[in-house]
Amino acid sequence: MPTFSTLIRNTSPAATAGLPSVTIPLPVSASPPVGLQLVGRRMADRELLSAAVRVDALVRRG
């Protein structure tokens, strides 16, 4: 599969809607890489990044 179209299919709806999004890698060892995508409100990039930092800290403690 082409790399770009494989990766963009998960981010395209948020980007098309003009919403900020961020993906947090999850710590898994027995599978391919897995990520958690968070989508924020329009023009709320800083709020989304702040939430992503908190979620990332929780995931890494788990």
pLDDT digits (tens, 9 = 90+) for 6-60: 777 766 688 888 899 999 999 888 888 889 999 999 999 999 999 999 999 999 8
Query: What is d(CA 23, CA 50) in angstroms, rounded to the nearest whole number?
Result: 13
Tell me if 14 sits within 8 A of 39, measured CB to CB: yes
pTM of the full structure: 0.74
DSSP H helices in 1-62: 3-8, 12-16, 45-61
Query: What is d(CA 8, CA 21) in angstroms, rounded to the nearest whole number?
Result: 12
